[in-house]
Amino acid sequence: MTAGTGRWIRNFVDGRYVEPDENRSFENIDPATGRVFARVHEADRELVDRAVTAARRALRDGWATTPVRERAALLRRAADRIEERFEEFVAAEVADTGKPVTQARQLDVARAPANFRTFADVAAAGQESFLTDLAGGRQALNYAVRKPLGVVAVVVPWNLPLLLLTWKVAPALACGNAVVVKPSEETPATASLLAEILTEVGLPAGVYNVVHGFGGGSAGEFLTSHPDIDGVTFTGSSATGTQVMRTVAPRARPVSLELGGKNAAVVFDDVDVDEALTGLTKSVFTNTGQVCLCTERVYVQRAIFDDIAQGLAERARGLRLGDPLDAATTTGPLISKAHRDKVAGYFELAEQAGAQVLTGGGVPQLGPDLAGGSWIEPTLWTGLANTHPAVREEIFGPVAALIPFDTEEEAIGLANDTEYGLAASVWTDDLRRGHRVAQAMNVGTAWVNTWFLRDLRSPFGGVGLSGLGREGGESSLHFYTEPTNVCVQL
């Protein structure tokens, strides 16, 4: 299939699509209906090797030394072309993920050209230099020459496939690297469609390659273990990220890992309750809870606990599950039946522990057209201890546990009582408290009275089981380059 519509989703190697092999393929399922959307050509070890070889050759043939202004101009043309073919990307993203078309338009696909433009600007901004004073009134000029890392393996997840793909590919290309992309087997379409865009705007053959498949014993393992890659950037589960680190460790390749989260919201009793409810509804239920930044733990000061609990449950019941192509739909399915089974397993654990279900807790009935989809009800609990698995472990669904607290110190302790450290949000009308509590959170990103608000130039990442390294702005450029410091005595 070309561009993610039709029967086949194909691999893209050395500037061209690869003819699919009927004997090495798998089904791409629409999670809203459970029906087959397309077949995907699974890359074998030999095809992955061809992709890495093509990427290495593209670097040698001149991409690595292409002036940054030319690379930046190409990225801006790619952004323009994505916007020209915007609805094609929307259609592919909706079919792959089942997410509502409104979200795909406003968030997922809209962020792709923004990623390309942001990193075009950042890469063109220049490099650091320092003038050092020496004894005797002399000086030395130190400056860093940043060179491409080389061939980068880009492994992206299924929850925000195009957004996270371009978040990694844009800075990698801006820095002069060649990439081999392994999209999730659940959501392969837009990675293949992006290959058309980059070819149309003049990216040399071999600079962008796509290999489809699974993890162990498939394209993911073949790529991350390949001896000729120079680095790996991975977004996905903490368990898989740990395996990626093991795979690359013997060759000491740099790794950037953006992993899972068990994110907390801390709501103080001086907050505007309606504003907090609006923010919490987004942070718990956006993308059916399938965002690493989503909130699964909500700590509420006792004086307003009932107001927040009842208000959030009411808003959850107001979410509209249904046809992803209906503009009125707010909430789509989970990505797969297997993931729905995982989320439903936590429903059972919470029930066994005596949790009060404020809303949800089951599988909705949405009619015959959507009966085969991977649907789950938005769910809220109270009455769970901070030690319960549903409060400790990442669920990655439209769920949250609400827990009361009395003091600021208690809230900070509860929020930080986790192995994860990706994000947190603090809700208060006391600006000093907001600064104080946000800085006390052991996370990579702490929001005050907002959620998911991003400046793409700012560093992004997590601590603990939430990852290693930072992406965004200059942080991305630092990962995708190797500096050579040049010191010249003047």
Catalytic residues: 258, 292
Q: Which of 179, 207, 200, 201 is closest to 61 using CA atoms?
A: 207
**How far is residue 273's CA from residue 46's CA, in Å, rounded to a whole number?**
58
The encoded tokens of residue 96 equal: 């792959």
Q: Do residues 364 and 377 lie in contact, with contact meaning Cβ atoms separated by under 8 Å?
A: yes
**How far is residue 410's CA from residue 268's CA, in Å, rounded to a whole number?**
12
**How far is residue 90's CA from residue 96's CA, in Å, rounded to a whole number?**
10
**How far is residue 8's CA from residue 24's CA, in Å, rounded to a whole number?**
12
Q: Which of 6, 325, 287 is closest to 160 using CA atoms?
A: 287
Q: Which of 128, 193, 139 is closest to 166 using CA atoms?
A: 193
Phi, psi of 404 (to 5 degrees): -80, 155
